[in-house]
Amino acid sequence: MDQILGQVLRNAVWERLDMLADLATRADTDSLVSVARSELPRLTEGWRAMLSAHEPDERGDCPTCSTRWHRCKAPCSVWQVAHEHLVAGGLAPQQDLRRTWRRTRANVPAQTRAPKPTQAETTGRHALIPQVAAH
């Protein structure tokens, strides 16, 4: 049950990111301004909450990425990705956002990424169940 709920949650987040990326590239100016006013504060707060969970502890380790047997020194991959996309990315030439995200996501350590989707999960854009083939 937790696996299904987790997949539903991940799919909802991926769908939202896809929708925002599509809007960023296709929306007219008025729609883009409206979306920016409503979504930028939410995205900013989301980044802040995520980065707060990855603030280094008194030993300089990331408490979220560290395990009992393996300490992860700050800055962890979450902080590195945040810097790349929020700071350094602003200085780089404009790129396709989806291509950049996929490349960055591929560089995130496997333990922090969601597992590869099963065949059932890859049917459709972010599907949970396979679609029945038409006869």
Rounded distance, CA 65 to CA 69, Å?
11
Res 48 pLDDT > 60 = yes
What is the average pLDDT score of the chain? Answer: 78
Q: What is the mean pLDDT of residues 87-98?
A: 61
Q: Coil, helix or strand for 61?
A: strand
Please give the pLDDT value at position 119. 46
pTM score, whole prediction: 0.61
Domain ranges of the chain: 1-53, 56-112
Burial classification of residue 95, based on how many CB atoms lie within 10 Å of its CB (0-12 exposed, 13-18 middle, 19 or more buried): exposed
Q: What is the pLDDT of residues 64-92, one digit of tens each?
A: 999 999 999 999 999 999 999 999 876 65
Note every long-range contact of 114-121, with CB atoms under 8 Å and residues 24 or more positions apart, other chains counting. 114/10, 121/7, 121/11
Written as six digits, the tokens of 66 are 């560290």
